[in-house]
Structure 1
Amino acid sequence: MKNSILNLIKRSASDPEAFEAIQSIFKLYEQLQFATNLNQVAVDIFDWLEREFDVKNLVFSLFDINKNEKLDVLSRGKDFFLDDDLSHYFIVNTHTNMNATVSFCASSVEHSNFLEENYNTIDSAFFIISTIVQNSILKKNFIESASLDSVTNVLTRQYMIENLSSYLKLSNNKQNEIYLLMIGIDRFKSVIDEFDYEVSDKILVQLARVIHSNINEFDLVGRLESDTFLVSILSNEDELQACEIAKKIIYDFSQVEVVVDENSGQTLKKSISIGFERFELNSSKTVNDAIKNADIALYEAKNKGRGQFFKFSQISTINNVELF
């Protein structure tokens, strides 16, 4: 795969078709950046193959090397067998226990020959997008094996904290740093006191939706306490962008109206505050240290008032208090 993309790049300097192929591959790569889950990745790959190479029959599957099991993620068009004369397949090596296989069947001998002629382009594309597929598989495994919070459907406190370190080691983070957002609902107890747990659950669900709408597939969300969420931004954002994401989450949630009485139409608006901490993967500081710092920053944010954002780096002197 690597040789295919290198050869394609060399040819693109003098070959217009090779240059167009490079453009097409990176358009696919950019599109996959917005995929929210592995199924969407598979759909986007199918759409690209259909658009560029008129592929109508496709199966995107995962093969578990350890269990020797195959799982079909997406199937489009007519059924076919891999040993059919018109079948083609590519293995996307994800460097995990699961590899992705993209197999498709040509509609005719001429179409099959056309696909063979464009083998290097397709092979190059799968090499370029392999890290995205890898991260989607890791996230899928992470979520499916985790104990999910029954109210918000985000990760539970225990699983997220216990497994975040190992997940970071597997993630493809080129900047070697992540950003932690500790998010708390301002005066959440007053909601429970004034209304009931059904209303408070609605607020939690809405907050989870707002968080997910502002982060991408590679970022993680867990519910640590009754009204506290931890977000780890694993994507390649710089610190300024990560701070802007946090502030947008604060703003977007402030615009949400939660219905508290269906009959009267009464609604409720709440605010959140966010504590922020940057964590370098190769530093002496542990993930738990960074989580504690983010929680301290949240405490400082709430002391400032409602709807506040506070970075741990803004604190000059901190008492050594065990928060976890």
Structure 2
Amino acid sequence: MEVKDLQEELTCSICLDYFRDPVSIECGHNFCRSCLHRSRVPGSGPFPCPECRHPSAPTALRPNWALARLTEKTQRRRQGPVPPGLCGRHWEPLRLFCEDDQRPVCLVCRESQEHQTHAMAPIDEAVESYREKLLQSQCNLGDKMKTLLELQEIEAKIATRWKDKIKSQRMRISTEFSKLHNFLVEEEDLFIQRLSKEEEETKTKLNENRLKLNQTISSLKKLIVEVGEKRQAPTLELLQNPKDVLTRSEIQDVNYSLEAPKVKTVCQIPLMKEMLKRFQATKIKTEKQNRHNMS
């Protein structure tokens, strides 16, 4: 008996897989015990054979030990490596692609209960379809990368302009404070400290934004490489869940809000000059009061 014919003899006509705990009924046909129970109408009366419709009593079920041993021996002989292009369960050519399970299947798999409601496509059509989708995904990712690189360039220019503003503001503060009296030195230091704190906080925020942008770019680069490798992969490897990489490509987010930092610390020199005038007036008044008390 040829291997294919032997496999057919050892296959349950209900589940289309190797027998599991095979039983014989009155007409002589064999089925998996669990398959037969699922196909029967609940009750204790006779039931029709799933193949020939001949009635058989539930009490007529007999374990077919010989068939079980033969099935087990045949399965053991097939536990070696599955040749490329063959179904690991049925050793049949992989001719179809199951959209629901995202994997190639054979014609026997298609007829099994597991795949009866699943959408199937010829494997050649599935390959062409997913190659086109992966190519489109790769193009879309390229566009996203271009957008991110442009944002990165703009971000660098914004940071440079901000640094120039910080430098200019620091020079103005130092110049204005140098024109005042010694008692304003502490005020100058206070403003410099505030500006430095603002600088550090803004630097931290810019670094966080730059890190986030670089991480997004790095993630996108890896995804582009992954999509490219998936698109160039052999047929069976390409059809191992191609939707996963397509989904991750579609949801890759490149939205990035550019925010030009502003210098919040402002040196209000006119107010300080007014403070100086009041200080000088208070000092003169105090000195006059002291001279009057001494006289």
Question: Which TM-score band (shorter chain)?
Answer: under 0.3
Rg larger for: 2
When the two structures are superposed, what TM-score results if normalisation uses the length of structure 2? 0.22
When the two structures are superposed, what TM-score results if normalisation uses the length of structure 1? 0.21
Structure number with the higher strand fraction is 1
Structure number with the higher helix fraction is 2
